[in-house]
A = this chain, B = another copy of it.
Amino acid sequence: MPTMADVAKLANVALSTVSYAINGTRPISEETRQRIFAAMEELGYQPNALARGLASKRSRILALLFPAPERGLGITELEFVTAAADAAKENDYNLILWSSELKKIDELRELTQQGLVDGVVAMEVHLHDKRIEMLREADFPFSMIGRCAESDGIDYVDIDFDQVVREAVDYLKELGHTRIAFVNHSQAEYDAEYGPAVRAEAAFAAAVKDAGLPNLVRRCRAAPPAGYEAFGSLLSEDPSITALITMNERAIPGIMLGISEKGWSIPDDFSLVAIVSSARAAEMVMPALTTMEPPSAKMGRVGVELLIRKLESGDQDTAKILLPCRLVIRGSTGPCRRPPEGAHG
């Protein structure tokens, strides 16, 4: 493995000149530049990342924090990850995957003290997130995909849950639906103040209130049987429900089973909208689901770009970015056929 000294010797310049040529830290005469790069080429020289990091105090390594899969990462989150990796690479950074249990913040603290990573991007953020508190106190550079209850001074990208839920509700209302239910993530995640669970539910409450509709909500574990139950429970509260919005992808098959057992068919008798749900998941079921599709890749990308921007510019003002989801109409929604009162279920 050739070193900078080898390059310098071959190019007949001082070692430091090679360094400057590589980093562009200082103007170098075109002629010597040429010689240096030729020498690098000839030797197949690659700067040693560790040495460079040690000397410059910048490793150009970022960490992506995701909690150990409790709910389990879905396809949506997978896209965060790959997009984040791509964005990092495009900016000449490396991305390490750091799966941290929410409890073990000591591990996180160690990570920030090892000098291995220049910054972290946190995903799956909770309203009161120990990780975020820790990073903040330590004044360690980071950005979030998601946001806390109080995110002053922190860069983040998140989904605009108000927009998403409101658009879904409005869309269904325009189709004539006036009894619209919402199936949320689990009680456990709500209690843990998982951002999307709390925000979407609040947004739903606000949206139906503004629309003059009842607030029909269930929290639901991420599994088909739980979806089935939630659906049944909603229907016994109000048998005239004709449409349902959910963010809980894994509950969907159970919900659909409940619908079909009622003798209803989708979308003729019942409409279903999956919010913050990727096309991949939407197309796994029949009929394919109308969704509010999240800009997953963009979120992953922006998450790391925000961090890099903060790292590289002394820029202190923070960016708070809320991204909308896009309504994609597929086969699971249609006009309301049943009258508001008196369901025939």
A interface residues, Cβ below 8 angstroms from B = 1, 44, 46-51, 53-54, 59, 61, 64, 66, 68-69, 72-75, 78, 81-82, 85-86, 89, 94-99, 110, 113-116, 223-224, 249-250, 252-253, 256-257, 260, 280-281, 283-286, 288
Residue of B82, B96, B110, B286 touching A253 (CB-CB under 8 A): B286
Contact, CB under 8 Å: A252 / B284: yes
Contact, CB under 8 Å: B54 / A50: yes
Chain B residues, Cβ within 8 Å of A116 = 49-50, 94
Separation of A223 and B279 alpha carbons in the complex (Å): 11
Contact, CB under 8 Å: B288 / A253: yes
Query: Are A85 and B98 also in contact (CB < 8 A) when A50-B53, A50-B59, A72-B280 are?
Result: yes
**Nearest chain-B residue to A77 (Cβ)?**
B78
**Nearest chain-B residue to A56 (Cβ)?**
B50
- Would you give the shortest CB distance from A55 to chain B, in whole angstroms? 9
Separation of A230 and B330 alpha carbons in the complex (Å): 22
Chain B residues, Cβ within 8 Å of A223 = 283
Contact, CB under 8 Å: B115 / A48: yes
- Would you give the shortest CB distance from A103 to chain B, in whole angstroms? 15
Separation of A281 and B75 alpha carbons in the complex (Å): 10
Listed from nearest, the 5 A-B pairs whose CB atoms lie closest are A46-B113, A49-B116, A284-B284, A85-B97, A49-B114
Secondary structure class of chain A's binding surface, majority of residues: mixed
Query: Are A286 and B48 also in contact (CB < 8 A) when A1-B113, A82-B69, A82-B73 are?
Result: no
Chain B residues, Cβ within 8 Å of A281 = 284
Separation of A68 and B98 alpha carbons in the complex (Å): 20
Chain B residues, Cβ within 8 Å of A110 = 46
Query: Are A49 and B85 also in contact (CB < 8 A) when A72-B280, A253-B288, A285-B253 are?
Result: no
Separation of A283 and B249 alpha carbons in the complex (Å): 11
- Would you give the shortest CB distance from A293 to chain B, in whole angstroms? 15
Separation of A253 and B94 alpha carbons in the complex (Å): 37
**Nearest chain-B residue to A249 (Cβ)?**
B284
Residue of B72, B96, B253, B286 touching A257 (CB-CB under 8 A): B286
- 17 residue pairs A–B, Cβ–Cβ below 8 Å: A1-B113, A46-B113, A46-B114, A48-B115, A61-B96, A64-B97, A72-B280, A73-B78, A82-B97, A85-B99, A94-B116, A95-B96, A97-B97, A253-B284, A253-B285, A257-B286, A260-B286
Chain B residues, Cβ within 8 Å of A78 = 73, 75, 78, 81
- Would you give the shortest CB distance from A249 to chain B, in whole angstroms? 8
Separation of A59 and B49 alpha carbons in the complex (Å): 10
Contact, CB under 8 Å: B97 / A1: no
Chain B residues, Cβ within 8 Å of A253 = 283-286, 288
Chain B residues, Cβ within 8 Å of A86 = 68, 99
**Nearest chain-B residue to A69 (Cβ)?**
B82
Separation of A115 and B59 alpha carbons in the complex (Å): 12
- Would you give the shortest CB distance from A73 to chain B, in whole angstroms? 6
- The listed residue with most B CB atoms (<10 A of its CB), out of A64, A95, A113, is A113
Residue of B89, B114, B288 touching A48 (CB-CB under 8 A): B114
Separation of A249 and B283 alpha carbons in the complex (Å): 11
- Would you give the shortest CB distance from A112 to chain B, in whole angstroms? 9
